[in-house]
Structures are given as structure tokens and as C-alpha cells.
């Protein structure tokens, strides 16, 4: 299909064009809901049209759109990209995928957009204010594709579907005994302590210049409790970087349902590079794929599909001291 999009901004982030074979479909994502995708999903899409919302893009335009995006306000909902004609009447369904709404966000810049030119979806490479790199599937790419600008800060809300969730092994530890690694960890902790647990902007430079006191020599090996740490690893395959692994601490838990399918919603800290502003996501997992004994404060591991949503309504908060969560 040829899309009648408005031309991209001359200040747009770098776009990395993918072979469409590199882009996975949404079958694995719908499998979080049902084993009968062919029958259940079309029925769900039809049933959600009457309650769908039309989200507002970051910028308005007078150009005639080639498609519209139907979304929803429920904790778990579907996004449907629908081709329309010149009279704005629907012609056909282009794409549909499940989404999780999240109240948790981060200020980021968009470093890159990974997409197949024949599709209206994309993965965004993001950098947070503390230089953490995240890859997310863009829930609103269909309406914001040509609105993004490089070096511009956006508030993006972060969510995910988990294929399964398991408790972390709290007794799992590793011993760091390589001298340079020991030095790095000692320097990192010392610098954070002196800065009230807030990473300075020149953290790496300070680590490079750090020297231990004579009383601390020789530097002893460090034992790290792996089961008590927060970690995020994005997918290594190009076009699938949004398929990630994470370990984090649960700070909130509730339940919800989608068309009779029960889900557990977990609010999880997945990164604490900035102790003042950790990365928190709202994670949805089918109730059949999680141990009911898992509770708030537990550390969990999960394979996830990480999503991001840039709401136009949130961007006005950029001029305030608004905290992302």
C-alpha cells in the first residue's frame, strides 16, 4: 500500500529502514490472550470499535490522512490502524495490536526509528535524561510518524506485555574480582554517595578520574546480590529490540480483564541508574502465566514486549517540574 503521509520534518530523527521480514508480526503478542487467535481476535476488534477513542497527534495538519488510529482508555485495549478514503470512510483494517495503558513515564529524546517502509508501525530507540537507552514499540506511530524531532524531549509512558513472570532467586550472587571492574563499582558507589544518590552528568568522567584512598587499598572483590538488582536487556535482533528481558522490583499490583481474559498488572522498577527517577513500567501478564503468590516488593524476571506512548496531552508538562511518575 502507498501511504499519503505528510513529508517528514527536516529535523526528524534518523530512520533505519528494515526489510519487512525483519519485523515480527503480532501473533506472539496476541498469544498472551488466547490460543485461538484466528477466531477470537477478529471478534474482539469488532466489539471494541464502538468504544474506541481517536487519540490526538502531537501536531495537527491539513493534509488528508490515509488512515486513522482507533485506541482505547481501558487498562488493556486494542489499537487498530484503519485505511480510509478521501471522504474519511473506512476501507480496510491495516493493522491491530494489543496495548497496555501506563501512568509511568520518562523524559526522552528519540535517537532512531526502526521501521519497514511498507508498514505503519515502528520501534523507537530512546535515550533518557541519564543516558539510558530503551527500545520501545510505538503505540501511536500511526499518528505521530512525521511529528517527531531529534534532540527534542518527549514524555513517553512505558508499558509492556509479559509472556511469563517468575520470582528472582534472592540468594543468587556473583563475585566481581577483576581489578578494573572492582574499581568501577567502587567509584560508581562512592560518587553516588557524595551526590545524594543522584548521578552527575559527568559521571563517566568522574569514574575515570576516581582514585581510592590509601585505607581502601587493596580493593577487595565485590559480592553482588543478582536477585536484588534491577536490569533491562533489549533484544539483540534488529527489528525486534522491543522484545526484551527485565528483572525488577514490584511496587504495585492489581488485576483487570480484557474480553473475559484475566490479567495481572504489575508496576515494576526495571532500572535504577538514577535513584531519583528510576525507570518504572506497567506490565500486564495473563493470570495463567504468573504465580499468584508474587506480591509487592518481590523481585521478578520476565520476557516482555516493551511499549511506549507519547501522548500529546502530556507534553505541556515539559515546562514544569513534572516528575514522570
> 3-class SS at 29?
helix
In the predicted model, is pLDDT for residue 1 greater than 60?
no
Task: Check residue 233 and give its pLDDT.
Answer: 93
Full DSSP string of 244-284 = EEEEEEEEEEEEEEETTEEEEEEEEEEE-SSTTS-EEEEEE
In the predicted model, is pLDDT for residue 248 greater than 60?
yes
> 3-class SS at 40?
helix
C-alpha cell at 64: 488528508
Higher pLDDT, 315 or 249: 249
Per-residue model confidence as pLDDT tens digits over 68-100 = 999 999 999 999 999 999 888 999 999 999 999
The 10 Å Cβ neighbour count of residue 256 is 16
Average model confidence (pLDDT) across the chain: 89
Task: Check residue 8 and give its pLDDT.
Answer: 58
The 10 Å Cβ neighbour count of residue 56 is 13
- CB-CB contact of 307 with 137 (8 Å): yes
* Strands in the chain per DSSP E: 14-17, 67-70, 76-84, 90-100, 105-115, 123-128, 133-138, 154-167, 173-176, 222-225, 231-233, 243-258, 261-271, 279-286, 299-309
Distance CA 249, CA 241 (A): 22
Distance CA 110, CA 13 (A): 6
Which residues, in sequence order, are CB contacts of 2 under 8 Å at separation 6+? none
In the predicted model, is pLDDT for residue 128 greater than 60?
yes
Mean pLDDT of 108-137: 94
Mean pLDDT of 215-242: 87
Percent of the chain clearing pLDDT 70 (strictly above): 94
Task: Check residue 20 and give its pLDDT.
Answer: 77
Task: Check residue 25 and give its pLDDT.
Answer: 80
> 3-class SS at 321?
coil
Task: Check residue 199 and give its pLDDT.
Answer: 76
Per-residue model confidence as pLDDT tens digits over 269-302 = 999 987 788 999 999 999 999 999 999 999 999 9
Which residues, in sequence order, are CB contacts of 254 under 8 Å at separation 6+? 264, 265
Distance CA 208, CA 5 (A): 47
DSSP 127: E
Task: Check residue 297 and give its pLDDT.
Answer: 95
Candidate ranges 45-54, 165-174, 316-325; pick with highest mean pLDDT? 45-54
Q: How far is CA 75 from CA 136, 209, 225, 258, 259, in A?
A: 18, 47, 34, 9, 12
Amino acid at each position: 500500500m502507498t501511504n499519503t503521509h505528510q513529508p517528514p520534518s527536516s529535523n526528524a530523527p534518523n530512520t533505519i529502514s528494515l526489510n519487512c521480514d525483519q519485523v515480527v508480526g503480532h501473533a506472539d503478542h496476541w498469544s498472551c490472550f488466547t490460543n485461538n487467535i484466528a477466531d477470537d481476535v477478529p471478534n474482539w476488534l469488532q466489539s471494541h470499535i464502538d468504544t474506541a477513542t481517536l487519540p490526538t497527534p502531537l501536531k495537527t495538519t491539513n493534509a488528508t490522512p490515509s488512515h486513522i488510529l482507533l485506541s482505547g482508555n481501558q487498562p488493556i485495549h486494542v489499537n487498530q490502524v484503519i485505511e480510509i478514503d478521501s471522504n474519511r470512510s473506512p476501507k480496510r483494517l491495516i493493522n491491530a495490536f494489543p496495548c497496555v495503558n501506563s501512568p509511568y513515564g520518562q523524559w526522552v529524546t528519540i535517537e532512531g526509528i526502526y521501521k519497514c517502509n511498507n508498514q505503519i508501525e515502528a520501534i523507537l530507540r530512546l535515550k533518557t535524561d541519564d543516558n539510558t537507552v530503551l527500545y520501545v514499540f510505538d503505540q501511536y506511530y500511526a499518528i505521530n510518524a512525521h511529528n517527531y524531532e531529534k534532540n527534542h524531549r518527549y514524555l513517553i509512558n512505558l508499558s509492556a506485555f509479559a509472556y511469563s513472570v517468575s520470582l528472582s532467586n534472592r540468594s543468587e550472587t556473583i563475585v566481581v574480582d577483576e581489578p578494573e571492574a572492582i574499581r568501577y563499582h567502587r567509584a560508581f558507589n562512592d560518587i553516588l554517595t557524595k551526590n545524594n544518590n543522584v548521578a552527575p552528568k559527568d559521571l563517566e568522567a568522574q569514574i575515570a578520574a576516581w582514585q581510592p584512598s590509601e585505607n581502601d587499598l587493596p580493593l577487595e572483590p565485590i559480592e553482588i546480590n543478582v536477585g536484588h538488582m534491577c536490569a533491562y536487556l533489549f533484544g539483540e535482533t534488529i527489528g525486534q529490540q522491543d522484545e526484551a528481558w527485565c528483572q525488577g522490583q514490584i511496587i504495585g499490583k492489581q488485576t483487570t480483564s480484557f474480553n473475559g481474559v484475566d490479567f495481572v498488572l504489575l508496576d515494576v522498577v526495571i532500572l535504577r541508574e538514577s535513584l531519583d527517577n528510576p525507570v518504572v513500567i506497567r506490565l500486564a501478564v495473563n493470570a495463567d502465566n504468573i504465580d499468584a503468590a508474587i506480591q509487592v516488593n518481590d523481585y521478578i524476571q520476565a520476557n516482555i514486549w516493551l511499549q511506549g506512548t507519547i501522548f500529546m496531552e502530556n507534553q505541556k508538562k515539559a515546562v514544569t517540574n513534572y516528575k514522570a511518575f
